[in-house]
Structure 1
Amino acid sequence: MNQSIIKYVIGKVMTIVGALMLLPIVTGIIYQEKEAFAYVIVGAASFLAGQLLSRKKPKNTMFYLKEGCVVTALTWILISIIGAIPFVLTGEIPNFIDAMFETSSGFTTTGSSILKNVEALSHTSLIWRSFTHWVGGMGVLVFLLAVIPMSGGSNINLMKAESPGPSVGKLAPKIRNSASILYKIYLGMTVLEIVLLLIAKMPLFDTLCISFGSAGTGGFGVRNDSCGSYTGLQQWITGIFCALFGVNFNFYYYILDREPKKSFKMEEVRTYFCIIFASTFLIFFNILPRFNTVESALRASFFQVSSIITTTGFSSVDFNLWPSFSKVILVALMFVGACAGSTGGGYKVSRLVIAIKTVIKEANSYIHPKSVKKIKMDGECVEHDVLRSINVYTITYLVIFVVSVLLVSIEGKDLVTTFTAVAATYNNIGPGLAAVGPSANFADLSYFSKIVLIFDMLSGRLELFPMLILFHPAVLKDVFLKKKALKATK
């Protein structure tokens, strides 16, 4: 394993995280809050440590998928730890496990919170808390590839390890150009949402935090009722942008590249919007008697469907009080998730489409044993390796989910709380149901349960395998044996 390049990349990431803390520092200065000093200390320490680790570029800059997975997992654990320290230093979240839960939830764009009174936080910490969504949405390593020149054709392995979805390809011949294109689209859409929310008369601070959250499909609000107290227009804008950020970014690239036919041929995107529309209207008719107007019922239905399927996690109403039919649809959407290549989490629509086609193909083979049919996606045959990887992912996904539910159930909470707490964190959703519903939080869970859920959040965001590979005995053996060999030579 090329440990020198892993150390170098981690150093670059620490430098970036330190620099990103300028936003809460500037916010603290504007609002004259003493909490900004904590971010100055942590930001400076992270920046300097990163500079020391990456001061010397290794001669061998090649790394394979194994190194890509290891560096991705280490990076996300490290940024969660660094991001949590200011909360502890300010005393706003004095317990480190709680602080890391909050920050892991932020960077993984989950939106689950342990805070009972969000509005008690300083503006400095609120902006950092929401900004972690934006940073984690597209990925910190994708950002690294976009802004820092890194040689070597193996850089695609960093994107593969970090980007959500069953496959990652190049939008441009060079990986850096692909990463740059993704971030330009991401930034442009974020700015557009900010402008529209400002036109809708949302306060500037709220606008920035809500836009960071919806862009990264996170879900941290700056009010205790999440988005419930915003105007109808502001909720419509936020809900629409949540849905737009859940679309595969290749869709936008093709439009910008003047190839709209390719955009609308994307079967995953068409299925994604069909699911949103169908779910919205099913819930709308189910909850209509509970609302005074048709518009408010339709808005609440669309907002929650958009927020849940994209794994954003904002709430405009307490959907925990809705009929069971509507709640079952929302729980199902937690597992479906957004499109591959978006900022959303979950199982991904593309995997679901291919899985359904596989079941149909197998059923047809029983009826017509001699027929030979290929599974197609967007008019092209799906390769066997893709099908195999989806099958492996599905099995792994279910195993981790079941084990997590068993571990969290040790605490003795009711089944709905336990099940949806794991579903909400594992799929990077935010709120669950019952004791972890939209009007509640995760504060009352035990520290053991929170640690399990932190692992679930990181695993879900990184598509499972980077976290599993990091703790694989062969990888640990490789790392420790090399360290012992180096000591022996010295």
Structure 2
Amino acid sequence: MINFKPVIRVIGLLITIIGAFMLLSIGFSWYYQSGDAWALMISGFICISAGVPAWLLIRKDAARNIKKREGYLIVAMGWLSMVIFSALPYLISGVIPGIPDAIFESVSGMTTTGASVLTDIESVPEGILFWRSLTQWIGGMGIIVLTVAIFPLLGIGGIELFVAEAPGPTSDKLHPRIRETAKRLWLIYVSLTGILVVILYLLGMNFFDAFNHGLTTMATGGFSTKNASMAHFDQPSIQYVIVFFMFLAGTNYTVLYYTLKRRFSNVWHSDEFRAYLYIVLAATLIVTARVYSVTNHSLEQSFRDSIFQIVSLITTTGFVSADYTAWSSGLTMFFFIILFVGACAGSTSGGIKIIRHLVFLRNSFYEFKRILHPRAIVPLKVNQKTVRGKVITHIIIFLLLYLSLFLFGSIVLSVMGYDFMTSVGAVATSLGNVGPGIGAVGPVDNFAWLSNGAKLFLSFLMLLGRLELFTILVLFTPYFWKTN
């Protein structure tokens, strides 16, 4: 029997926190006199009024018995609740009057996808604009806790690849207690965000733009305060700083922790981090050479545009400094493939994650050896530790599910009447939580013109991708609801 008390209690707490963050956004409304303070205030009070009773009325001791089923419900229903309540400021202010559009923008924010239905971002009131960026920062912070503290306990997620005998980000855990681990990673997340905001301000951004882009960069979200995204800030120093912090945000937070502790041997022993670095460097060299040959840009401009787009898409941030679909059809396909890569597990990025690709490719290569030597024991190792067969099976199933969902989603959008490039681009970028895609949802387009049905369907895919597929899909199985 599922114990719904802890589910209701945690959801109430999450909604209350969302409401508190809404009230914090009012400061920008008052400062800029943007006229949206009342919408944020009403939305915040609605959240607090709904969340506090659910949180307080259920006793803490009655909500302690959390098992796997309750854990899945807390994650899935908690994120769904946050998405619904996060849409209130858009609806009440009238910035996004339609419910499907408001839900889409809210889901895109909380899942740090960065796809948008807003056609004129610069006309949006500052309070709502800040709330929009804040949803991504909240979502980024939330995914750290999920991947480090919750997912391993549920037996899911890319972070489990670092598990030996005990749950945690690595077998050499940051701290033996999950709560302390989460605190340390939150501190890194908040500190890096603050440092980036200061740097962007010193480089010439006004405080509002610096604050917003600091939030959405570290969350690998990609929401911008400008219609042209980062192309608006055509200043090399700003764009290179954003590239650097996007790369950091896509790095496993355990690796960042070891870096701060100057335990560089632990950093370099991370197979995923090395692969992440090599992929970025190799892709940058390839794309830079091609961009330089097909455009009249200088070598520096070609390099900057190339590395910006590559890091932005691999980390699933989704910032845009150039239209990569205008360079060549070959590069368009190259960037489409990048939508399926993802950065590191245990980071704020979305997508498949490099560690899964590593394990799958290594296991596939070793399979040839097993065929030639059927009696030989050929262990697969990551970070010099043997990966259990259960984890390998989990990864293969995840990849098959991911591919199946991509194909199914592409067919659904095609049946809705969208062309092939737009269908595959929209589904790939939504499922991978990237933001820009290809076709009519490319880097210079948005999702406003899609039908309400398509927006709601893509919103569902964003949630699926962000919560590692299994968290939501397991709720649709009969096994989950059986009492024994």
User: Normalized against structure 1, the TM-score is what?
Assistant: 0.92
- Residue by residue over 1:412-432, the C-alpha shift from the partner in whole angstroms, topping out at 9 and shown as x without a partner, is 111111001000010000011
CA RMSD of aligned residues (A): 2.1
Tell me what 1:488 maps to. Answer: none
- Residue by residue over 1:8-38, the C-alpha shift from the partner in whole angstroms, topping out at 9 and shown as x without a partner, is 1111111111111123211111111221111
Tell me, what secondary structure is at the counterpart of 2:25? helix
- Residue by residue over 1:72-111, the C-alpha shift from the partner in whole angstroms, topping out at 9 and shown as x without a partner, is 1111111111111110111110001101100100010000
- State the shift of 1:188 in Å: 1.1
- Residue by residue over 1:157-197, the C-alpha shift from the partner in whole angstroms, topping out at 9 and shown as x without a partner, is 58758976444615312111011011001111111111211
- State the shift of 1:250 in Å: 0.7
Tell me what 2:70 maps to. Answer: 67
- Residue by residue over 1:227-252, the C-alpha shift from the partner in whole angstroms, topping out at 9 and shown as x without a partner, is 10211111111111111100011101
Distance in 2 between residues matched to 1:336 and 1:165, nearest whole Å: 16
- State the shift of 1:115 in Å: 1.2
- State the shift of 1:338 in Å: 0.7
Tell me what 1:288 maps to. Answer: 292
Contact kept in structure 2, 1:286 and 1:325, CA below 8 Å: no
2:438 is the counterpart of 1:437:
no
- State the shift of 1:125 in Å: 1.0
Letter in 2 for 1:124: G
Letter in 2 for 1:54: W
- State the shift of 1:142 in Å: 2.8
2:96 is the counterpart of 1:93:
yes
Given the alignment, which residue of 142, 147, 150 partners 2:145?
142
Tell me what 2:309 maps to. Answer: 304
2:248 is the counterpart of 1:247:
no
User: Normalized against structure 2, the TM-score is what?
Assistant: 0.93
2:260 is the counterpart of 1:256:
yes
- Residue by residue over 1:428-461, the C-alpha shift from the partner in whole angstroms, topping out at 9 and shown as x without a partner, is 0001112101111111111111111011000100
Number of corresponding residues: 470
Tell me, what secondary structure is at the counterpart of 1:262? helix
Letter in 2 for 1:135: I
Letter in 2 for 1:43: G
Tell me what 1:364 maps to. Answer: 369
2:154 is the counterpart of 1:114:
no
Letter in 2 for 1:23: L
Letter in 1 for 2:281: F
Tell me what 2:210 maps to. Answer: 207
- State the shift of 1:409 in Å: 1.3
2:181 is the counterpart of 1:175:
no
Given the alignment, which residue of 198, 219, 228 partners 2:231?
228
Tell me what 1:337 maps to. Answer: 342
- State the shift of 1:257 in Å: 3.7
Tell me what 1:486 maps to. Answer: none
Letter in 1 for 2:403: L
Distance in 1 between residues matched to 2:160 and 2:429, nearest whole Å: 21
Equivalence map 1:450-465=2 (5 Å): 450-465=455-470
Tell me what 2:192 maps to. Answer: 189
2:240 is the counterpart of 1:269:
no
Letter in 2 for 1:13: L
Which 10-residue stretch deviates more, 16-25 or 296-305? 16-25
- Residue by residue over 1:263-298, the C-alpha shift from the partner in whole angstroms, topping out at 9 and shown as x without a partner, is 110000000010001111111001113143111110
- State the shift of 1:369 in Å: 3.2
Distance in 2 between residues matched to 1:433 and 1:407, nearest whole Å: 17
Tell me, what secondary structure is at the counterpart of 1:21? helix
Contact kept in structure 1, 2:240 and 2:304, CA below 8 Å: yes
Distance in 2 between residues matched to 1:384 and 1:310, nearest whole Å: 28
Distance in 1 between residues matched to 2:157 and 2:117, nearest whole Å: 27
Contact kept in structure 2, 1:217 and 1:344, CA below 8 Å: yes
- State the shift of 1:54 in Å: 1.0
Tell me what 2:51 maps to. Answer: 50
- State the shift of 1:339 in Å: 0.3
Letter in 2 for 1:298: F
Distance in 1 between residues matched to 2:157 and 2:210, nearest whole Å: 26
Change (3 A) 1:102 1:172: same
Contact kept in structure 2, 1:116 and 1:441, CA below 8 Å: yes
Given the alignment, which residue of 424, 438, 444 partners 1:419?
424
Tell me, what secondary structure is at the counterpart of 1:34? coil
Tell me what 2:164 maps to. Answer: none
Distance in 2 between residues matched to 1:226 and 1:266, nearest whole Å: 33
Change (3 A) 1:97 1:338: same
Same amino acid, percent of matched pairs: 36
Structure 1 runs not aligned, ≥5 long: 147-154, 482-490
- Residue by residue over 1:307-353, the C-alpha shift from the partner in whole angstroms, topping out at 9 and shown as x without a partner, is 00000000001112011222222111110101000000111000000
Distance in 2 between residues matched to 1:361 and 1:140, nearest whole Å: 33
